Structure 1
Amino acid sequence: MIKPLFRFSILCLCLVGLVIGGVSAGPALALTAEQSLVAEVWRIVNRAYVDETFNHQNWWFTRQRALDRPLRDREDTYRVIQEMLSGLNDPYTRLLPPSQYRSLQTSTSGELTGVGLQISKDEQPGWLRVIAPIEGSPAEDAGVQPQDLVLAIDGVATTELTLDEAAARMRGKQGTTVTLDISHSDNDPPRQVSLTRDVITLNPVVAALKTTTEGQRVGYLRLSQFNGNAVEKLAEAIDDLASRGAQGYLLDLRNNPGGLLQAGIEIARLWLPKGTIVYTVNRQGILDSFEAFGQAITAAPLVVLVNEGTASASEILAGALQDNGRATLVGSTTFGKGLIQSLFDLSDGSGLAVTVAKYETPAHHDINKLGIQPDRLVATVPLTRDTVATDADPQYQAALDLLSQATVVASAS
């Protein structure tokens, strides 16, 4: 139904143009290579962007204004494309020049060289906000926390940088340094943090068999990212823990900034035998859904740890498990990113990230900018890598106590 309607809309626009003009249109002028790239980006956004008002602007006029700009080289073209996209007021819809696009593709499956920060951009006044540091990264080792503000990178205010420009400044050759101005909140005085760039291995799963004071065996699973290996590695870890006698599981999604949507859906299917995992809402307001089906990998009790750094695909997974009654959530309110992006290859080797849909949890909660409220609230405290999932970690201890009670009930039944 959508395709015929879309073609009809274009046809109507063409007919209106002919009537107003009063004369037949002459042959269209050929576009230059630079103009063609601008038009290519415009067409993708026109077809796929979630907001059909394009932030209440005339998207056709935006195209014409961009094509009328002088485009002497590719840098001019990128700049005009970025200006065109900025009118959407959506930091997640953005142009990724070839080097940045390759880095983004690598981050979902391989290694990164940089400081290891997952970042977003506040709408006002435009500072960078930390979603989460990557486990084992220089940023984590320096004590950078979720929700911290990055005010400057090597003296350049982050209000002057796009997300990708900021990320590019933090990447670099192993062993080189970058200085960040960090603040814990809008009112806190900033502090300077000097970080030495390093190669960061993106190992998404940490697993361990824990024993509670009551003697219950708990499978602890920490998932740091939804990359291309996450589903396979998590399934292997669950099987291994089950073979070692795990009676329940504690899934730690704290500081997990998300990643691949499909990985989040497949991981939900590891835990859910049936039920809706997530609803997506497109630009026409049409609902679609992803469902669980088949046999779950385990029916043992499950508690999920979340915090302010739990974002995007992590929130999809947490919301699915909570709304389906499969797991109890413990910790603090999640980040609140309820938008879905798709990546598009462009003809010059660059990429385009476009917000294509919003999502709702199975109970139809829109969590964008609101986050998911845990079933049991436990405040986040600063932790180092060595104190996560120890006696010094109150969220972990609360989850462990809850899971210990659940495994006792499950064993009795």
Structure 2
Amino acid sequence: MGSLLVVGRALPAPSDEHSKNHRLKLWATIEVKAKSKFWCFPRKLKKVKKSNDQVLAINEDPGEYQNALNSMAYYLGSSLQCRMCGFRGRRKHFKLLKVPHKASLIQRLQTLFSASPKILSSYILSFQRKVQKVTCWQGKFIISIGTIFSCVVVSMMLIISASVTVSKDSTWALTEDNRLFLEAWRTVDRAYFDKTFNGQSWFRYRENALRNEPMNNREETYMAIKKMLSTLDDPFTRFLEPEKFKILRSGTQGALTGVGLSIGYPTGLDLSSAGLVVISTSPGGPANKIGIKPGDVILAIDDRSTETMDIYEAAELLQGTEGSTVKLDIHSGPEIKQMALRREKITLNPVKLRLCEVPGLGNDSSRIGYIKLTSFNQNTSGAVRDAIESLRGSGVKSFVLDLRDNSGGLFAEGIETAKIWLEKGVIVYICDSRGVRDIYEADGSNAIAASEPLIVLVNRGTASASEILAGALKDNKRAVLYGEPTFGKGKIQSVFELSDGSGLAVTVARYETPGHTDIDKVGIIPDRTLPPSFPLDEDSFCNCLKDPASACNLDTAALFSR
């Protein structure tokens, strides 16, 4: 895009020194680089003549020079100020002067625009040579203001014409694969939480990728999208081929076939192991029955190293036909074990409940409702509500909410579950790179268990949406947390489906607890610890509570009496 140059001479204010021998002859060139950013440079006219830019020579009289600036401001739609000489151009001060043959001029311009922009450029250059017979301010040469307006209009229309032409050409040149790439780019542009895009120009990356990245088929386009996302340096923002996208969706809809493992990247409290970390195991699933525990590291799946494997590729390898076998290399404590697991149909029932009889608490507090929350899928909040009502019908007046080995799931279900337990208060702050963007609060409209005594059990397998719930209950002093520090996944992802059935998992925000704690890679610290022998399943928990000398002695009399 060419620059629009206005050449004139800015004279100093009249003074005693303003004599013939000391008059300042300053040629000022205004280069409009944007609507309100330009510089006024001292420059001799003979140097300007050698420029290929569009040049407008005006009478050096300061009044006409000022009006030229006003006219530029009028056409550009904003005020201008030269950063060197201080002259200002204001669109509201622009004086509309009569321009001879204005209609015929527009007609000529329209004719020129119908041709190639190169014709218009050559017209401007020839026009420039004619108008450069200018006079000095003493009256030797004079040029009409009509010429000023003509050149300004022609130059601005040249810029617009070139922009429209380029835009039109690039649109028509887009292929179906280019459009898929742009769809992915726009999705990240709108949704990604870090608007600096890891310190790069996101728009410039798009332009460079369209010019330089091969996108001749779908495979090349997928590679271009993955390469684009890798520049964000965010392991949770990932591209999902159609098959992987189906796997991810199945995990939030209630059932899948596999070994019952929830896995993640080693971004929690221990970053030393190379591989994929086990966040949790499904109770009663193949991995749970064979003894795999949260914190174990998967080194290989069917002899394929997981060191550089993403979690979606690993999930695809772990799932398969019911009854088939998958081999895992597991780093558990000081040992490396090889295990063969048979795939089963895993029903993701998010809620399990038990009625626990506890001796020694009196008639009103002898029954405790135990609710184990295993995941946050689309059924979770409704299932929790049903569990509370069912336990209440059995005389329960206090609750234990077990979030251990709950690796999270749907963010919205985590929020809705928190509203069940809170009468009022902040649930979570949603933040981007510029600070707090949104606040989720409880207003009491969905609360059905906001007053009963409550304790929450957490461990290293408590992650994502379950950490949001635990943090909300802790910071609002609604519950006492028992266990160990949680996983520390303080970022929120949303899943977007693309037009060809593929998808994007995009980090849309980070969150802070109601106490403004950023738990990413740190976790939520419980109020009290639990012994290693504390039972994980619901039946063992209830049996353990009956024995005052067991690991389940949580000072229940103090906890469940208000």
For the aligned pair, the TM-score class normalised by the smaller chain equals 0.7 to 0.9
Superposed displacement of residue 142, structure 1: 1.5
2: CA distance, partners of 1:383 / 1:210:
14
Contact 2:467/2:524, CA 8 A, preserved across alignment = yes
TM-score (ref. length: structure 1): 0.87
1:270 is the counterpart of 2:412: no
Query: Which range moved further: 40-49 or 67-76?
Result: 67-76
Pick aligned residue for 2:259 from 115, 121, 124: 115
Contact 2:354/2:539, CA 8 A, preserved across alignment = no
1:100 is the counterpart of 2:251: no
Match runs of 1:184-333 below 5 Å:
184-185=332-333, 188-215=334-361, 216-294=366-444, 296-298=447-449, 299-333=451-485
Match runs of 1:386-405 below 5 Å:
388-389=540-541, 401-405=554-558
2: CA distance, partners of 1:43 / 1:54:
13
Structure 2 residues not aligned, in runs of 5+? 1-33, 39-52, 54-157
Contact 1:148/1:183, CA 8 A, preserved across alignment = yes
Superposed displacement of residue 146, structure 1: 1.0
Query: Which range moved further: 258-267 or 293-302?
Result: 293-302
Greater Rg over alpha carbons, structure: 2
Contact 1:250/1:403, CA 8 A, preserved across alignment = no
Partner of 2:435, secondary structure, is coil
* RMSD, aligned α-carbons: 2.6
Contact 1:180/1:193, CA 8 A, preserved across alignment = yes
2: CA distance, partners of 1:229 / 1:403:
31
Q: Which amino acid aligns with 1:36?
A: R
Query: Which range moved further: 280-289 or 368-377?
Result: 280-289
Q: Which amino acid aligns with 1:41?
A: A
2: CA distance, partners of 1:66 / 1:403:
62
Partner of 2:226, secondary structure, is helix
Distance 1:317 1:403, change over 3 A: farther
1: CA distance, partners of 2:222 / 2:348:
30
2: CA distance, partners of 1:387 / 1:241:
15
2: CA distance, partners of 1:171 / 1:290:
35
* CA offset digits 1:34-57 (Å, max 9, x no partner): 121111111111222111222233
Superposed displacement of residue 400, structure 1: 5.9
Alignment partner, residue 202 of structure 2: 59
* CA offset digits 1:211-265 (Å, max 9, x no partner): 1131521000000011111111111111111111112100000000011111111
Alignment partner, residue 81 of structure 1: 225
Contact 1:302/1:403, CA 8 A, preserved across alignment = no
Superposed displacement of residue 312, structure 1: 0.6
Q: Which amino acid aligns with 1:297?
A: I
1: CA distance, partners of 2:534 / 2:329:
19
Alignment partner, residue 3 of structure 1: none
Superposed displacement of residue 324, structure 1: 0.5
2: CA distance, partners of 1:191 / 1:381:
23
1: CA distance, partners of 2:253 / 2:344:
17
Alignment partner, residue 284 of structure 2: 136
2: CA distance, partners of 1:203 / 1:55:
38
2: CA distance, partners of 1:400 / 1:238:
23
1: CA distance, partners of 2:184 / 2:274:
24
Query: Which range moved further: 327-336 or 344-353?
Result: 344-353
Alignment partner, residue 298 of structure 2: 150
Alignment partner, residue 354 of structure 1: 506
Distance 1:343 1:310, change over 3 A: same
Contact 1:176/1:197, CA 8 A, preserved across alignment = yes
* CA offset digits 1:36-87 (Å, max 9, x no partner): 1111111111222111222233333432443322233222222221122122
Partner of 2:391, secondary structure, is helix
Contact 1:151/1:183, CA 8 A, preserved across alignment = yes
Structure 1 residues not aligned, in runs of 5+? 1-11
Partner of 1:167, secondary structure, is helix
Q: Which amino acid aligns with 1:134?
A: S
Partner of 2:228, secondary structure, is helix
Contact 1:66/1:81, CA 8 A, preserved across alignment = no
* CA offset digits 1:337-385 (Å, max 9, x no partner): 1101111121111111100111000000000000001000124459675
Query: Which range moved further: 335-344 or 379-388?
Result: 379-388
Q: Which amino acid aligns with 2:472?
A: A
Superposed displacement of residue 110, structure 1: 2.2
Q: Which amino acid aligns with 1:306?
A: V
2: CA distance, partners of 1:31 / 1:382:
61
Contact 2:255/2:348, CA 8 A, preserved across alignment = yes
1:370 is the counterpart of 2:522: yes
TM-score (ref. length: structure 2): 0.65
1:47 is the counterpart of 2:199: no
Partner of 2:515, secondary structure, is coil
Contact 2:353/2:538, CA 8 A, preserved across alignment = no
2: CA distance, partners of 1:300 / 1:136:
30
Superposed displacement of residue 403, structure 1: 3.8
Higher relative contact order (CA 8 A, sep 6+): 1
Alignment partner, residue 21 of structure 2: none
Contact 2:455/2:482, CA 8 A, preserved across alignment = yes
2: CA distance, partners of 1:203 / 1:52:
37
Superposed displacement of residue 386, structure 1: 7.9
Query: Which range moved further: 335-344 or 92-101?
Result: 92-101
Superposed displacement of residue 189, structure 1: 3.8
Identical aligned residues as a percent: 46
2: CA distance, partners of 1:385 / 1:308:
16
1: CA distance, partners of 2:553 / 2:410:
28
Q: Which amino acid aligns with 2:355?
A: L
Query: Which range moved further: 76-85 or 64-73?
Result: 64-73
Distance 1:376 1:385, change over 3 A: closer
Q: Which amino acid aligns with 2:402?
A: D
Contact 1:136/1:385, CA 8 A, preserved across alignment = no
Superposed displacement of residue 119, structure 1: 1.2
Superposed displacement of residue 136, structure 1: 2.2
1: CA distance, partners of 2:336 / 2:198:
33
